[in-house]
């Protein structure tokens, strides 16, 4: 049996789990309704008490929507943040907080971090296991969009082929993110810092020409403006990472030194960088590089590992809130069932007439239970829909605030959660149904 279960596709497993969770409610319904068809009476009851029924349905829907929206949103946020960090295999920085380095290098959150030196970068770039080592320099912005200094290979690694235009080729050119406030053909002057007040410290006299635009990545880099790291250094009055008299080969002998960008960098003229993105061709090599560069003067971080820790904390919060949502659903279910007991009392005379003309107790039980089940199932279905809409709306807000693409949709986890609630509520609905069937028809008719 375990082998058979393991061999099933994931969708088949999810469907099977949902069916098993819904089975108790279905068995209760089969046992109660076997041999009876109380639908006309149930429709009449639903119409007669339509406003009270609407209140009960909305109570159930809201309680279900809270739990559904919470779990869907947590999953969407987890997937979105993981997708945003998937191009950052390994990030190196000065010793400090791994979370701070991840938020700064991957999610472009403004922060002050120490710089790595030219000698450290040269050591990493010369490592035979390193396929890509690119500096990431941040601190400037334009109209709220971060201006990031890096290299052309990093742009290709991050977004692949550009959506339009070309890569930067000189220190005064830039590539805009998919949703950056500038595009090909525009020129802009960066400002020092990010957020409010950044425009007060503009680098006058230093501007960039945008020559390309990246494809969407679903990360904060979609609003960033990427420029050669040499341009960032020069804007701040620093060396550009290249020796004035050095040329790579004779083919470049005619180039002006002011137009040279990208590696190799001269350690003596390397001003420093807050972070270095490192990528190896083999997975095992990334782990070796992490071990090699985790030392007293340097820190190597897997952003995915940091996110996993954050996701674990988020999962704990979600579980606590999910427990609260379950308790809320239970309380709402009890309140609804208490209301159904009161409604059954209002229907006591009608139910007594049914008993008087020969209807058995089980038929009365079937009528009241079916009436309760209609409210419960309608509220659960509406709550599933409301939860989906709420998660989608919240996802758009989170995407706008964090610039991490978050898409929250209904999954089998939410469907299974609703199945659990519906099965439990349908079983509890036996209580008002049984109380209605146990009432004395003679006493109800006399009253």
Residues 219 and 95 in one domain: yes
Angle (CA) 86 91 92, round 5°: 175
Q: Are residues 352 and 223 in the same domain?
A: no
pLDDT given for residue 70 in this prediction? 81
Give the pLDDT of residue 249: 46
* Mean pLDDT across 364-388: 89
Query: In the structure, what pLDDT confidence band is assigned to residue 298 with cuts at 50, 70 and 90?
Result: very high
User: 350 vs 160, which has greater pLDDT?
Assistant: 160
Q: CA 376, 381, 383, 386: dihedral to nearest 10 degrees?
A: -160
| pLDDT given for residue 161 in this prediction | 87
Say which residue the tokens 């080969």 belong to. 249
> Do residues 65 and 120 share a domain?
no
Residue range 213-219: mean pLDDT, rounded: 90
Same domain, 160 and 245: yes
Per-residue pLDDT band for 256 (boundaries 50, 70, 90) equals: very low
- Domain with 348, as residue range(s), is 9-83+310-446
pLDDT average, residue stretch 128-156: 90
> Mean pLDDT in the chain?
82
Is residue 244 domain-shared with residue 318, that is, in the same domain?
no
Domain co-membership, 152 together with 285? yes
- E strands present in 113-235: 132-142, 145-150, 164-165, 173-176, 187-188, 191-192, 208-213, 225-228
**CA 327 – CA 324 distance, rounded (Å):** 5
pLDDT, tens digit (0-9, with 9 covering 90-100), for 173-185: 999 999 999 989 8
Q: How many domains does the chain have?
A: 2
pLDDT digits 0-9 by tens, 151-174 = 999 999 998 889 998 999 988 899
Question: Helix or strand or coil: residue 37?
Answer: coil
Residue 4 lies in a domain: no
| Mean local confidence (pLDDT), 398-412 | 81
Q: Token pair 């809270």 is at which residue?
A: 66
pLDDT bucket at 201, cuts 50 / 70 / 90: low
75 shares its domain with 107: no
pLDDT of residue 48: 81
89 neighbors 82 (Cβ within 8 angstroms) = no
With beta carbons less than 8 A apart as the criterion, state whether 409 and 76 touch: yes
Mean pLDDT of 307-333: 76
Inform me whether the pLDDT recorded for 393 exceeds 60: yes
Q: Would you say residue 2 lies in a domain?
A: no
Distance, CA of 57 to chain centre: 30
pLDDT of residue 109: 86
What is the pairing mode between strands 145-150 and 225-228?
parallel
Whether 250 has a pLDDT exceeding 90, the answer reads no
Same structural domain, 51 and 127: no
Identify the pLDDT of residue 299: 93
Q: Is the pLDDT of residue 237 over 90?
A: no
In a domain, 3, yes or no: no
The whole-number average pLDDT for the span 339-367 is 70
Q: Which residue has the higher pLDDT, 310 or 325?
A: 310
Q: Could you tell me if residue 169 is inside a domain?
A: yes
Using pLDDT thresholds of 50, 70 and 90, give the confidence band for residue 335: confident
């Amino acid at each position: 049996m375990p082998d058979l279960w393991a061999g099933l596709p994931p969708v088949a497993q999810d469907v099977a789990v949902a069916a098993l969770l819904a089975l108790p409610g279905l068995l209760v319904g089969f046992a109660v309704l076997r041999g009876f068809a109380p639908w006309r009476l149930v429709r009449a009851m639903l119409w007669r008490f339509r406003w009270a029924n609407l209140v009960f349905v909305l109570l159930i829907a809201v309680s279900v929507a809270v739990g559904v929206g919470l779990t869907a949103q947590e999953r969407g946020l987890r997937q979105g943040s993981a997708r945003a960090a998937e191009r950052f295999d390994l990030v190196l920085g000065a010793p400090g907080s791994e979370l701070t380095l991840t938020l700064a290098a991957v999610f472009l959150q403004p922060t002050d971090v120490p710089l790595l030196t030219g000698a450290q970068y040269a050591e990493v770039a010369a490592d035979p296991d390193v396929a890509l080592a690119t500096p990431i320099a941040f601190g400037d912005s334009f109209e709220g969009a971060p201006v990031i200094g890096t290299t052309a290979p990093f742009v290709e690694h991050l977004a692949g082929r550009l959506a339009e235009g070309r890569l930067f080729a000189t220190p005064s050119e830039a590539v805009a993110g998919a949703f950056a406030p500038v595009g090909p053909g525009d020129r802009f002057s960066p400002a020092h810092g990010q957020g409010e007040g950044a425009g007060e410290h503009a680098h006058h006299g230093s501007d960039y020409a945008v020559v390309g635009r990246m494809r969407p990545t679903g990360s904060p880099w979609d609003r960033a403006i990427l420029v050669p790291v040499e341009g960032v250094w020069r804007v701040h009055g620093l060396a550009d990472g290249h020796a004035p008299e050095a040329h790579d080969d004779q083919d470049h002998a005619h180039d002006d030194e002011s137009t040279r960008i990208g590696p190799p960098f001269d350690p003596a003229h390397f001003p420093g960088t807050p972070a270095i993105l490192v990528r190896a061709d083999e997975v095992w090599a990334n782990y070796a590089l992490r071990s090699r560069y985790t030392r007293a003067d340097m820190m190597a971080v897997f952003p995915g590992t940091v996110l996993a820790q954050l996701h674990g904390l988020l999962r704990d919060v979600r579980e606590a809130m999910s427990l609260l949502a379950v308790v809320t659903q239970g309380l709402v279910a009890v309140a609804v069932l208490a209301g159904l007991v009161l409604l059954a009392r209002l229907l006591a005379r009608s139910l007594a007439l049914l008993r008087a003309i020969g209807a058995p107790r089980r038929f009365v039980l079937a009528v009241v239970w079916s009436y309760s089940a209609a409210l419960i199932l309608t509220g659960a279905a509406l709550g599933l829909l409301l939860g989906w809409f709420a998660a989608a709306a919240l996802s758009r807000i989170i995407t706008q605030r964090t610039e991490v693409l978050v898409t929250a949709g209904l999954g089998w986890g939410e469907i299974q959660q609703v199945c659990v609630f519906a099965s439990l509520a349908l079983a509890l609905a036996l209580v008002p149904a049984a109380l209605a069937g146990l009432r004395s028809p003679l006493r109800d008719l006399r009253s």
